[in-house]
Structure 1
Amino acid sequence: MKVLTFGTSNSKNSINKQLAFYAAQQINNADVSLIDINDFEMPIYSEDREKESGIPQLAHDFYNAIGSADSIVMSFAEYNGSYTSAYKNLFDWTSRIDMKVFQNKPVLMLSTSPGPSGAQSVLAAAQASAPYFAANVIGAISLPSFYDNFDAEKNVVTDEPFNQSLLAAIHKL
C-alpha cells in the first residue's frame, strides 16, 4: 500500500510532520512517502494570478502525489485556530485543478500542538469540510501536549489512548 504522509506546517521541525510519519509507519506493509509542504511553496493564490499565469506546476505535482497514493496520513498544525497559511495556499491552488483534491482516497486526519488542545479546532474544520473535497476520512485524532506525549529519542507516541485510536483507524484501510 502506497501511503502519502505530510504535516501541514512549513516548520523545518514540524511536530505535525513527525506525528504523521509516526502514524504512517504503524501501517503494515506500507510504502510510506513523506513529503514536506515547503517543497510546494507557491505565490499566494489569487484569481488574477491564476488568469495571468495558470496553475503552478507544484500544485499539479501535489495533486498527482495524492492521486498516486492508496491512502493519505496528514497532521494539521493550527495557527490562530485555523489552517496554516502554507497549507491553505497549497490547498487553494490544488483545488483549482479539481475540487475533489483527495480523489476519494482514505484519509487519516491527525493534529497536535504543544498545548492541551492538540489543535482540535483545525482538525474539526478539516473533518467537517472533507466531504466537499472527496476525502474518505477513516479517522480524526488529536494528540494533545505533543512534547509530553511523544518520545523524540525513540520517535514514538507514548499516549496509549492515542495509539489505540490510531490502530483502530488504521484497521479501516
Structure 2
Amino acid sequence: MKKVLAFAGSNSSTSINQQLLDHVVDRIQSHEIKIIKLTDYPLPIFSEDIEKNEGYPIHATIIKNLIAESDALIIAVNEHNGGPSAFFKNIIDWLSRVNRNFLEHKKILLISTSPGKRGASSSLEYTKNIFGRFGGEVIESFSLPSFKDNFQDRKVTNEVLDMGIEEVLTTFAHQIEN
C-alpha cells in the first residue's frame, strides 16, 4: 500500500477543484490517502527579502515534509486567467526555495476543472510542464470541462468523462505500484 498525498491548489472554501479531488480520492481503494487543505498552511507572498531576513516559513517546510513522506501525489489544479492561481503558484515558489527538488521521485496525478469548456486545461498544462523541473513525474492528468454541467451530487454525471477518470485512475494506481 502506497502513501498518497492529495490537495487542491485553491484557497476558495467553495472550490470546485476540491470537490473534484474529493470525488477522485473517494474512488481509490488500495492506497493510504491523506488529504490536506493548503489553506491550513498560510504562507506570505514569496519574497527574496523575507527569505533572506526571516528564512523559510515553517508552513513551507511542513508542506515539503508532507510531500517527502508520500509516495505519490494527487493535485487538483485550479485556473485564474489561464494560469494557476496566485495562491498555488506562491506555494510552488516557496517549496522550490526550501528544496529545489521537492517533488523528487514523486509520481503525480494532476486533475483540474472549471466552469468553462476547457476545464482549466491551460493551468493543468502549465503545472504539468513545470513539475518536472522539481523532480516530479506526472503519470496522468485529467481535465473535467464545464463543471456545473458534468458534476452533480458529488459525482461525475457524464458517462464518457466518468470512464475517462476511471481510466486515468487505473493507470495511476498501476504506475505507483511499480
Normalised by the length of structure 2, the TM-score is 0.90
The residue number in structure 1 matching 2:175 is 172
Query: What letter matches 1:121 in structure 2?
Result: S
What letter corresponds to residue 167 of structure 1 in structure 2?
L
3-state secondary structure, aligned to 1:72: strand
- Are residue 103 (structure 1) and residue 104 (structure 2) matched? yes
Look up the match of 1:145: 146
> For the structure 1 residues 169 and 147, does the alpha-carbon distance in structure 2 shift closer, same or farther, using more than 3 Å as the test?
farther
Q: CA deviation at 1:31?
A: 1.8
Q: Which amino acid is the alignment partner of residue 175 of structure 2?
A: K
The equivalent residue for 2:23 is 22
Q: How far apart are 1:91 and its partner, in Å?
A: 1.2
| d(CA) in 2 for partners of 1:140, 1:167 | 9
**Which residue of structure 1 lines up, in the alignment, with residue 75 of structure 2?**
74
Query: What is the percentage of aligned positions where both structures have the same residue?
Result: 37
TM-superposed deviation, 1:18? 1.7
1:9 is paired with a residue whose SS is: coil
Q: Post-superposition shift, 1:42?
A: 1.3
Q: Supply the AA of the counterpart residue of 2:147.
A: F
Structure 1 unmatched runs, 5+: none
Q: Contact conserved, 2:9 with 2:75, CA < 8 A, in 1?
A: yes
Q: How far apart in 2 are the matches of 1:167 and 1:94?
A: 26
Aligned amino acid, residue 19 of structure 2: Q
Secondary structure class of the residue paired with 1:79: coil
TM-score by length of 1: 0.92
For structure 1, which segment, 13-22 or 78-87, has the greater mean C-alpha deviation from structure 2 after superposition? 13-22
CA RMSD of aligned residues (A): 1.4
Contact 2:119 2:146 in 1 (8 A): yes
- What do the CA deviations read for 1:95-152 (whole angstroms, capped 9, x no partner)? 1111112121110011110111100001111111121111111101111011211122
**Residues 101, 133 of structure 1: 8 Å contact kept:** yes
What SS does the corresponding residue of 1:4 show, helix, strand or coil? strand
Matched residue count:
171
Structure 2: distance between partners of 1:62 and 1:84: 18
| Secondary structure of residue in 1 paired with 2:104 | coil
The aligned amino acid for 2:155 is: V
One-letter amino acid of the counterpart of residue 167, structure 2: S
Quote the Cα distance in structure 2 between the aligned partners of 1:145 and 1:169. 24
Distance 1:30 1:168, change over 3 A: closer
Residue identity in the other structure for 2:82: G
Per-residue CA distance 1:69-116 (angstroms, 9 max, x = gap)? 121000110001111111111111111111112121110011110111
Task: Provide the rounded CA distance (Å) in 1 between the counterparts of 2:156 and 2:134.
Answer: 29
Secondary structure in structure 2 of the residue aligned to 1:10: coil
Other-structure match for 1:64: 65
Please give the secondary structure, in 2, of the residue aligned with 1:172.
helix
CA shift, 1:52, in A, is 0.5
